[in-house]
Amino acid sequence: MAAYLFRRLVQSALILLGVSFITFVLLYVLPADPVRQIAGRSATQQTVENIRHQLGLDQPMLVQYARYLSGLVQGDMGRSYLQKTEVASLIAARLPASLLLMAGGIACELVIGLSLGVIAALWRGRALDQGLMVTSFVAVSAPQFVVGLLLLYVFAVQLGWFPIGGYGTFAHLVLPSIALGIMGSGWYSRMMRSAMVEVLRQDYIRTARAKGLTRARVILRHALPNAILPIIAMIGIDIGIFMGGMVVVESVFGWPGIGQLAWQAIQRVDIPIIMGVTLVSATAIVLGNLLADIVTPFIDPRIKLR
Amino acid sequence: MADATAQAGRPVPEGVLARLLRRKLALFGFAVILLVVGGAVLAPWIAPYAPDEQLFEGLTIEGAPMAPGGQFLMGTDLLGRDLFSRILYGARTSLIIGVVANGVALVIGTLVGVTAGFVRGWTGAVLMRFTDLMMAFPALLLAICLAAIFQPSLWIVAMVIALVNWVQTARVIYTETTSLAEREFIAAERTLGAGPVRILFRHILPHLVPTLIVWGTLGISVTVLLEATLSYLGVGVQPPTPSWGNIIFENQTYFQAAPWLVFIPGAAILMLALAFNLVGDALRDVLDPTQRGQG
């Protein structure tokens, strides 16, 4: 276990190194010149060169990358070009809002997805099952920004139950969480349905019924836990999808998270922020995958760590 | 080619179309796809107005867009352009990007997957580690970055989407290729003296066709959604070229007063993505016997 964990951690670190290098190269070769953005239109050639030199942007790319990396291992993600603030502190200020939204999205995805999946499995082959499975297809085909705008229109503008965007209270969290989680709930309901159908076919379920346990008890105590755990372990893999969805949902609802930070930075060619957010997201994705791989064998002993 | 496929053990079973057409949901999906393709192809003849013509009668006296109904079937947008005409021309954007971007992604994914799975050794290892690395990228963030960097046009957006989306295909094809390469009939062929090229083209690739058809169809849905999202954020297809995503991008500030400008294109995106998902799912059931009974 320790050896496995060590190997996976090294692998993850290498992947993150690769991500940082590719992002750096992409941003380095980009045609938009950040120095022009900082200096403004009326700046003289001399001023532009001075700023370029100050930021170290006149150095060869590999030197710049090495310098970035050496800062990174000391916890320094550089300074924003335009806001003159530490990138690490900008991200740290925005991260809680994003984590809150992600938690809301995951909760929504699981509650809707798993319960619909169980219901569909129990009513397998009937109209209810078919209806739910069509609904799940609609959910995975719905663009998040359209869902977000629809929720805003119906529940905030028309009914006035929730605030129109913003951040602060629980009421602010509800609509963005649904917008973020609805697509995943479609996938989860399908996975949950087939997991549940599979478990209900097993011999031990028939045995439990034969012992005289009620159907409800068999489902709740025997079938559900066995079907649900492997699926919950998959959340780790979803982090990447959430990271993408966050940019969209935060933009629709004006949610002050790292998605918005990244989006604004991209528009202003503020490279250190783009780098920082990409790396934070990639770290979350890698850790999520790692967690899913580590947890799964504990849940399902038939799966072994390799 | 058809002959070669038949000799290789008929990987695509007979009567696929017939079995597909018996499924109501797949049929619905086909109908929607046909409708959208028809609208896109026939746009110049069906569209009542030019898609970027700012009509004088397209705005009210106060300068507000017209609601659906009456002269304008789906209403008009903030600039007084006919929304129905823009939706028809927007279908072209969605379909072109859906097919081109997904096609390129499928080709890259297949090349990487087959090479890694068939050649193995360090070439395979390097390719698969690179695939792992791509999996760790926040895909949408990467796409937004790339699109923002290269002043987006229709083809650039398609390439950006392809660059982000090939990874899943590569992994699936890799897994399938490795398991195929270990099967007995491949070993038998090898003992009979078949070279790697012959094995690859006569036996491996034909068996990958069903998987590619399924992933190709499902992938279009992913691509359509990604294009819409990029265009909605303003880094996708640029106005005045209409795309369902950028119609929403252009009009969303006004969506409380003119919700049709957001929800008609939104419904169009959803229907097209749904259609490809339904057809893809039905194809998976029909083409892949191991999955049957689970759906």
**Segment holding A286, helix H or strand E:** helix A271-299
- Residue A262, chain B, CB below 8 Å: the answer is yes
Looking at the fold, whether A170 and A135 belong to one and the same domain comes out as yes
- Residue A158, chain B, CB below 8 Å: the answer is no
From B114's Cα to the closest Cα of chain A, the distance in A is: 22
Report yes or no on B93 lying in a domain. yes
Nearest chain B residue (CA) to A133: B295
Q: Which residues of B touch A266 (CB under 8 A)?
A: 144-145, 148, 235
Q: Which residues make Cβ contacts (< 8 Å) with residue B239, sequence separation at least 6? A: B246, B249, B250
Please count the structural domains in chain A. 2
pLDDT at B67: 75
pLDDT at B235 over 90: no
pLDDT at A290: 84
Residues in chain A: 306
Q: Burial, B269: exposed, middle or buried (Cβ in 10 Å; 0-12, 13-18, 19+)?
A: buried
Tokens 């097919």 found at: B99
pLDDT at A31: 60
* A210, A295, B205 from A196: Cα distances, Å: 19, 20, 35
From B138's Cα to the closest Cα of chain A, the distance in A is: 6
From A30's Cα to the closest Cα of chain B, the distance in A is: 6
In CATH, what number is assigned to the domain containing residue A105? 1.10.3720.10
Q: Per-residue pLDDT averaged across B26-37, rounded?
A: 91
- Residue A142, chain B, CB below 8 Å: the answer is yes
Mutate to test the interface with A, among B128, B145, B243, B250 (most CBs of A within 10 A): B145
pLDDT at A45: 77
Q: Please report which confidence band the pLDDT of residue B13 belongs to, taking 50, 70 and 90 as the band edges.
A: low
Report yes or no on A35 lying in a domain. yes
Report yes or no on A148 lying in a domain. yes
* A239, B34, B35, B69 from B38: Cα distances, Å: 38, 6, 5, 22
Q: Of residues A232 and B94, which shows the higher confidence score?
A: B94
Lowest mean pLDDT among A38-42, B120-124, B153-157: A38-42
Q: Per-residue pLDDT averaged across B123-141, rounded?
A: 84
Q: Which residues make Cβ contacts (< 8 Å) with residue B264, sequence separation at least 6? A: B68, B74, B75, B83, B87
Looking at the fold, whether A33 and A159 belong to one and the same domain comes out as no
Looking at the fold, whether A285 and A185 belong to one and the same domain comes out as yes
B52, B240 Cβ separation under 8 angstroms? yes
Question: In chain B, pLDDT over 90 holds for what percent of residues?
Answer: 14
Contact A137 B141 (CB under 8 A): no
Nearest chain A residue (CA) to B141: A244
Q: Which ipTM score applies to this complex?
A: 0.85
Report yes or no on B19 lying in a domain. no
Report yes or no on B109 lying in a domain. yes
pLDDT at A49: 78
Report yes or no on B7 lying in a domain. no
Looking at the fold, whether A238 and A136 belong to one and the same domain comes out as yes
Looking at the fold, whether A186 and A39 belong to one and the same domain comes out as no
Report yes or no on B134 lying in a domain. yes
Looking at the fold, whether A152 and A183 belong to one and the same domain comes out as yes
Contact B133 A27 (CB under 8 A): no
Final residue before a domain boundary, out of A39, A73, A107:
A73
The residue type of A227 is A
Please count the structural domains in chain B. 1
From A239's Cα to the closest Cα of chain B, the distance in A is: 9
pLDDT of A41-71, one tens digit each?
677 777 777 777 777 777 777 888 888 888 8
Nearest chain A residue (CA) to B145: A266
From B63's Cα to the closest Cα of chain A, the distance in A is: 22
pLDDT at B3 over 70: no
Chain B, 218 to 277: residues with Cβ < 8 Å from chain A are 221, 225, 228-229, 232-233, 235, 245, 248, 252, 255-256, 259, 262-263, 266-267, 269-270, 273-274, 277
**Segment holding A144, helix H or strand E:** helix A144-151
Q: Which residues of A touch B269 (CB under 8 A)?
A: 143, 146
Looking at the fold, whether A57 and A110 belong to one and the same domain comes out as no
DSSP, collapsed to helix, strand or coil, labels residue B3 as helix
Report yes or no on B201 lying in a domain. yes
Mutate to test the interface with B, among A130, A149, A152, A159 (most CBs of B within 10 A): A149
Looking at the fold, whether A35 and A170 belong to one and the same domain comes out as no
DSSP, collapsed to helix, strand or coil, labels residue A161 as coil
d(CA B286, CA B99): 22
In CATH, what number is assigned to the domain containing residue B121? 1.10.3720.10
d(CA B83, CA B52): 10
Domain containing residue B271: 85-291
Chain A, 93 to 122: residues with Cβ < 8 Å from chain B are none
Q: Please report which confidence band the pLDDT of residue B8 belongs to, taking 50, 70 and 90 as the band edges.
A: very low
| Alpha carbon of residue A110 to chain centroid | 14
Q: Of residues B6 and B210, which shows the higher confidence score?
A: B210
B108, B167 Cβ separation under 8 angstroms? no
* Own/partner long-range contacts of A29-33 (Cβ < 8 Å, ≥24 apart): A30/A269, A30/B149, A31/B149, A31/B150, A32/A269, A32/B149, A33/A269
Q: Per-residue pLDDT averaged across B227-243, rounded?
A: 85
d(CA A132, CA A116): 7
pLDDT at A263: 85
Report yes or no on A80 lying in a domain. no
pLDDT at B292 over 50: no
| DSSP symbol at A41 | T
Report yes or no on A169 lying in a domain. yes
Lowest mean pLDDT among A8-12, B205-209, B236-240, B259-263: B236-240
B170, B131 Cβ separation under 8 angstroms? yes
Nearest chain B residue (CA) to A287: B136
Report yes or no on A146 lying in a domain. yes
- Geometric angle at alpha carbon A135, from B234 and B294, rounded to 5°: 115
Of B132, B138, B255, the CB nearest to A240: B138
pLDDT at B196 over 60: yes
Q: Which residues of A touch B246 (CB under 8 A)?
A: none
Of B144, B262, B278, the CB nearest to A247: B144
Contact A143 B229 (CB under 8 A): yes
Q: Which residues make Cβ contacts (< 8 Å) with residue A90, sequence separation at least 6? A: A80, A83, A261, A273, A276
Of B136, B144, B221, the CB nearest to A19: B136
DSSP, collapsed to helix, strand or coil, labels residue A120 as helix
Chain A, 7 to 66: residues with Cβ < 8 Å from chain B are 15-16, 18-19, 22-23, 26-27, 30-32
pLDDT at B123 over 90: no
pLDDT at B35: 92
Residue A225 preceded by cis peptide, ω within 30: no
DSSP, collapsed to helix, strand or coil, labels residue B258 as coil
Domain containing residue A120: 90-299
Contact A243 B225 (CB under 8 A): no
A8, A290 Cβ separation under 8 angstroms? yes
Nearest chain B residue (CA) to A129: B295
Report yes or no on A282 lying in a domain. yes
Report yes or no on A82 lying in a domain. no
* Own/partner long-range contacts of B250-258 (Cβ < 8 Å, ≥24 apart): B250/B77, B250/B78, B251/B65, B251/B77, B251/B78, B252/A149, B254/B65, B254/B78, B255/A149, B255/A153, B256/A153, B256/A157, B257/B64, B258/B64, B258/B65, B258/B67, B258/B75, B258/B78
Of A22, A153, A197, the CB nearest to B259: A153
pLDDT at B293: 42
Contact A27 B259 (CB under 8 A): no
Q: What is the pLDDT along chain A (306 residues), one digit of tens a residue?
A: 788 888 888 888 888 888 888 888 887 766 666 776 677 767 777 777 777 777 777 777 788 888 888 888 887 887 887 777 888 888 888 889 999 999 999 999 999 999 999 899 888 888 888 888 889 999 999 999 999 999 988 888 888 888 887 787 887 888 999 999 998 899 889 888 888 888 888 888 888 888 888 888 888 888 888 788 778 777 877 887 788 888 889 988 888 888 888 888 888 878 888 888 888 888 888 888 888 878 777 776 666 655
Looking at the fold, whether A213 and A289 belong to one and the same domain comes out as yes
Report yes or no on A177 lying in a domain. yes
Establish how many alpha carbons lie within 13 A of residue B168's alpha carbon, considering only the half-sphere containing its beta carbon: 17
Q: What is the dihedral of CA A52, A56, A60, A61, to 10 degrees?
A: -100
Question: In chain B, pLDDT over 70 holds for what percent of residues?
Answer: 91
Looking at the fold, whether A103 and A67 belong to one and the same domain comes out as no
Q: Per-residue pLDDT averaged across B71-76, rounded?
A: 77
Contact A146 B136 (CB under 8 A): no
pLDDT at A177: 92
Q: Which residues of B touch A194 (CB under 8 A)?
A: 294-295
Final residue before a domain boundary, out of A8, A39, A73:
A73
Beta-carbon count within 10 A of B165 CB: 22
Looking at the fold, whether A23 and A66 belong to one and the same domain comes out as yes
Nearest chain A residue (CA) to B259: A153
Looking at the fold, whether A142 and A39 belong to one and the same domain comes out as no
What Rg do the C-alpha atoms of chain B give, in angstroms? Answer: 22
